[in-house]
Structure 1
């Protein structure tokens, strides 16, 4: 259940390899500015895994800061994913950090089928990463958020359904999943975007490069039912090519869904990717995610 996004495939920068020792978080801390030119690593189950950190200048030193984990699509790398989505610019404007991990060897991409505790599991890597980022980079454990494109979006919904992750909310583009484990987890807040003309992951369901996707409407309905959301609180068409629904759900959970009419397998508002269909300029997924996560007033 992963999909291909191949337009951004530059080689990762290996300027520095930093294997840091962790210490329990305590008291004020400070994040050194980084723009993704350092490759950090953690060891999970005897395997070294990598991630990039984007930390703007001027972050507070007397409090912990929010963090957005950005999961790239199949064939991307972390640095390209951050630039493509402009999450680095959003972090600079609003005062949070971005952590962009690197998927497994094939693709690179994310395996969402295995469990957190399975040897070599990508979900196990992500779980360990959330602990490491709190310890190493002054992240607020209560304000951790997950965003992803395509295969990365599928990964974050697998994380949501595992019940093992500290993410306060999720933001996905171009792959929505609902598996057996989703029924038992608490209500989940997420914002989601999908193009109606997406060929790689069809809006109406069908074959993808790595599996069969269910129709978006059916998968979204399953989440709305599970979260006890009821009827939409609001529906609007903010532009000719955009449909937008919002739900209020049990335990103060929230769901928002954007359908991009005629949209392809792209990140709404992004630039620089060709061959994946139409990209809307009517909305920006990153701006909407930052708002949904409550980060718009950070900086």
Structure 2
């Protein structure tokens, strides 16, 4: 009887095993981790042809998904020159993330947004989709930075596209573009006190483009992120000073690196803006 029982059990397991195999989940498809050495790509967004430059580092073996940094040029610039100036591609090769350097129509981003000009928020969303269809991007680690006009545009992305953008790091271009729907978004910005193009004190005679001061813009983001109301300043010597708001919702900190004597540049001396932005991005995935 015991032999018959063991035999029956084995027959039952053999009969069920094909069903068990059929119900088991299929293995996940491998990511298409193809290196891209700074190439221009085209896509259609809003009914017009747009371009962007893509870099995916060659040392990506074994990576399941890569962070993506969106880098936006200043007014009058272009994607190729911006890639050389920021150095994000060399940093990405060392750190293991992808970079998309974006290209505005007629070299100027549509911010403040006007209905008569291309929808650059939609363009950025379309670029993310375009890249995600071609390589292996972590949707929780897409970040935006930019210089001057690109900084203003990355501020707008933090407001209008914060369901896809994890954090922002505008340089010489932080704006408060609210009221903003959606989540609190971490903000890191760098600005020089001697900037005569986008003055730290704001209120330039340029229409809606540069109204509030940098501290006022910072306070707007702090309010959106439900931070504690007091602006804190770290004790530091030298031209670099760090100001920040603490106690923000979901850890969405708001921080400013202010540099005495620095003009309208992407800094490398007192602080390396590219590396500082990346260190900030690493600590702030989408939540």
Q: 2:188 matched to which residue of 1?
A: 191
Distance in 1 (alpha carbons) for counterparts of 2:200 and 2:176? 15
Say whether 1:286 aligns with 2:284. no
Counterpart CA distance in 1 for 2:280 and 2:162 is 22
Could you tell me which residue of structure 1 aligns to residue 20 of structure 2? none
From 28, 31, 34, the counterpart of 2:30: 28
Give the whole-Å Cα distance in 2 for the aligned partners of 1:118 and 1:128. Answer: 19
Return the match for 2:202 from 179, 184, 205.
205
CA distance in 2, matches of 1:119, 1:174: 23
- Aligned residue for 2:49, secondary structure, equals strand
- Give the gaps of 5 or more residues in structure 2: 1-27
Q: In the TM superposition, what is the alpha-carbon distance from 1:139 to its structure 2 partner?
A: 1.2
Q: TM-score, normalised by structure 2?
A: 0.81
Does the CA contact (< 8 Å) of 1:56 and 1:92 recur in 2? yes
1:247-267: CA deviations, max 9, x gaps?
Answer: 331122112111011111111
Counterparts of 1:62 and 1:201, CA distance in 2? 40
1:1-299 pair list within 5 angstroms: 27-36=29-38, 38-105=39-106, 108-114=107-113, 120-163=118-161, 165-182=163-180, 184-207=181-204, 211-230=209-228, 235-248=233-246, 249-269=248-268, 281-294=269-282
| Distance in 1 (alpha carbons) for counterparts of 2:29 and 2:210 | 47
Q: Which entry has the higher C-alpha Rg, 1 or 2?
A: 2
Question: Any stretches of 5+ residues in structure 1 without a counterpart?
Answer: 1-25, 270-280
Encode CA deviations 1:22-57: one digit per residue, 9 max, x unaligned.
Answer: xxxx73223322332x21011113211001111221
Aligned mates of 2:141, 2:116 — CA distance in 1: 27
Q: Distance in 2 between matches of 1:173 and 1:208?
A: 21
Q: CA RMSD in A?
A: 2.4
Q: Report deviation, 1:295.
A: 7.2
Task: Give 1:143 deviation, angstroms.
Answer: 1.0
Secondary structure of 1:268 counterpart: coil
Contact 2:46–2:119 under 8 Å retained in 1: no
Q: Which has the higher helix share?
A: 2
When the two structures are aligned, how many residues end up with a matched partner?
255
Q: Distance in 2 between matches of 1:76 and 1:194?
A: 19
User: Deviation string for 1:197-244 (max 9, x for gaps)?
Assistant: 100011011326673331111111121122121156963354511110
CA distance 1:30–1:215, change in 2 (3 Å): same
Using the alignment, how far apart are the partners of 1:152 and 1:226 within structure 2? 21
Runs of 4+ in 1 over 4 A off after TM superposition: 231-234
Alignment partners' CA distance in 2, 1:130 and 1:100: 12
Higher strand share: 1
Higher RCO structure (Cα 8 Å, ≥6 apart): 1
